[in-house]
Structure 1
Amino acid sequence: MKKLYLFFLCISVLASAFFAYSCRNPSGKYSNPKGYDFTKPDKFNMPSSLQEISGIAFYKANSDTVYSVQDEDGKLYRQGWDVKKQSNMKFAPKGDFEDVAFLHEMVFVLKSNGDIYSFPVTEVVKKESNLVKLHKQVVPHGEYEGLFADQETNKIYVLCKKCGIDKKTKALSGYVFDYKSGTDSLVAAGAFKMDLNQIKALNSELKASLSPSALTRNPKTNEWYVLSSTNKLLLVADSNWKIKETHRLNSSMFNQPEGIAFDKDLNLYISNEGDEVIDGNILKFKYLVTEKK
């Protein structure tokens, strides 16, 4: 009888341990890119004004100040890391604003219809700016949420979330622009596509579909990081947009991932929109040096 009791006790302990691990990472299906541990974030909860936080960015990759936009107000928000009090600058009427990026001394904000707003960095300390330029209809009709600015080439990248051109294909389109500072203009400089069949080839449990919510590039590896809130997925692609890795995200931690950015120390940040129960937040994942010196 005693042996039977010990047997069931052991089974109970093992089952409890397995259950606890499964809740954190059921079936081991969650993963993260090399150099990061997605189970150990530094969490920064947002104030109510940023409950619907979307895109995030850092000026010159300095993480002492976080810049962000949210889904409804045409405002650029700024706040110190882990400081809830925010200041903001109005750049547009209410709308659906999805991503933000800095290109040298300019700020760019992407609206969901593909329109892009630009204004000088010096304007961010004001309540409202009269130096905002609206770049309308620079991309085909569709829904857009991913924006990236390349400091070396002066190019702006815009990624489709849902575009008519991709409707009958297993592909995702994006567009590239040269920014001309003299005229504050965006000049078409090409396009690119991501083959979504590569997702299923890397993980047979996933569908060959994607609705991107944010875009950035790893400054160390030059790999593209494409985030999807709808799919709860992070993709890593090479410089030619070939998908190399798929990382499923745990919804208990990533409530609604809408923004992504790196700082100058290679730390990775992912912003999450909140809901009736959970505050909007930004999760910081410290870069773990894995290479031998």
Structure 2
Amino acid sequence: MNKIAAAITLVIIGIVAVIYYTVDFPFNIEREDFTEEYEIQQKWDLPNRLEEVSGIDFIDDTHVACIQDEEGIIFIYNLAENKIEKEIKFGKIGDYEGIALFKNNAFVMRSDGILFEVENYRTNNRKVIKHKTFLKAKHNVEGLCADLENNRLLVAVKDRDPVNHSTKGIYAFNLNSKKLQKKPVYQIHLEDSIFKNVQTKNKLKIMMPSEVKINPKTKEIYVTDARNPKLLILSPEGETKKLYLLNREKFYQPEGISFDSKGNLFISNEGHSDPANILKVKLKN
């Protein structure tokens, strides 16, 4: 009888351990008190169709291309008129997490590492091409942006990195070869002192990148974490420069980043009790 009880106990402990290290609980990190080092200058509440908004990229200073993580559709949102102007279907139902515009093409990343290229995405002659990468659903791929100067896309891993489990890698997708390089071009070290005010029992959850974008003016790399809202800024060489802890009441789930032509920062948030939104944000310091 004691052996049976012990076996049952071990099974329960094993199940709990698996759940703890694999399930993505949203509110598991404690942070010290912090000062809000940013100002929200403008806010756009998004319609219900974009409640699960997961990625944004500016087309021009009025129009934003948006995706949400349940439908294979690119939504063209007009900031001046506060409405969805056009819907462009490119795929089936799926977990779509990042969008990047490059010339006349749109690229959309699915969380299982499949990259969708929508050629001439705003015309009736568009063509959809799927690119497989070595990243899988277990890595949970969320971040995507265009690196125009280097003719590549940057791809950020949210969960366990395939190369180094003590870092979160940002990988390069070469737009000539249409291949994802296996060695990360940037690495976020989870033991970096910049995370000293972020405490969690699970090291992998210190930073869980939900989006990556390049500031067109400074060339710095911006990375959001939607599970425990924060914004990390890296130098153009990939060194950590600044960490902004975000107030969850204002940034419920920051999933998208984009910049307009003037270098103004915009962050999109999934909805909860309030509608999803796009915020124009001015950082201090």
Note whether the superposition's TM-score is higher than 0.5.
yes
Q: State the distance in 2 between where 1:245 and 1:130 align.
A: 40
**In the alignment, is residue 63 of structure 1 matched against residue 61 of structure 2?**
yes
* Displacement of 1:41: 2.6
Alignment of 1:103-252 (within 5 A): 103-120=102-119, 122-126=120-124, 131-139=127-135, 142-165=139-162, 169-180=165-176, 185-186=178-179, 188=181, 190-192=183-185, 193-198=187-192, 201-207=193-199, 209-252=206-249
Task: Check conservation: 1:179, 1:187, Cα contact below 8 A.
Answer: no
Larger proportion of strand? 2
Partner of 1:99: 98
The count of aligned residue pairs is 247
Compared CA separation, residues 27 and 135, structure 1 to 2 (3 A): closer
Alignment match, 2:78: 80
Structure label with greater radius of gyration: 1
Contact 1:177/1:190 (8 A) holds in 2: no
**Partner secondary structure for residue 85 of structure 1:** strand
Q: State the 1:244 CA deviation.
A: 1.3
Instruction: Give the deviation of 1:187 after TM superposition.
Output: 5.5
What's the counterpart of residue 24 of structure 2? none
Letter in 2 for 1:132: V
**Contact 1:139 1:175 (C-alpha < 8 Å) held by counterparts:** no
Name the SS for the 2:122 alignment partner. Answer: helix
Q: Which letter maps to 1:279?
A: P
Of 30, 35, 38, which aligns to 1:30?
35
CA gap 1:104/1:85 in 2 versus in 1, 3 angstroms? closer
Residue identity (%): 30
Tell me, in whole angstroms, the C-alpha distance in 2 between the residues paired with 1:195 and 1:47.
Answer: 37
**Structure 1: which 5+ runs fail to align?**
1-25, 33-37
After superposition, the Cα gap between the structure-2 partners of 1:188 and 1:202, relative to the gap in structure 1 and judged at 3 Å, is closer
Length-normalised TM-score, structure 1: 0.77
State the Cα distance separating 1:56 from its structure 2 match: 0.1
After the TM superposition, list the runs of 4 or more consecutive aligned residues in structure 1 that deviate by more than 6 angstroms: none
TM-score by length of 2: 0.79
Once residues 43 and 233 of structure 1 are traced to their aligned partners in structure 2, the CA distance between those partners, rounded to angstroms, is 18
Change (3 A) 1:65 1:140: same
Unaligned runs of 5+ in 2: 1-30
Query: 8 Å contact 1:57–1:102 — kept in the other structure?
Result: yes
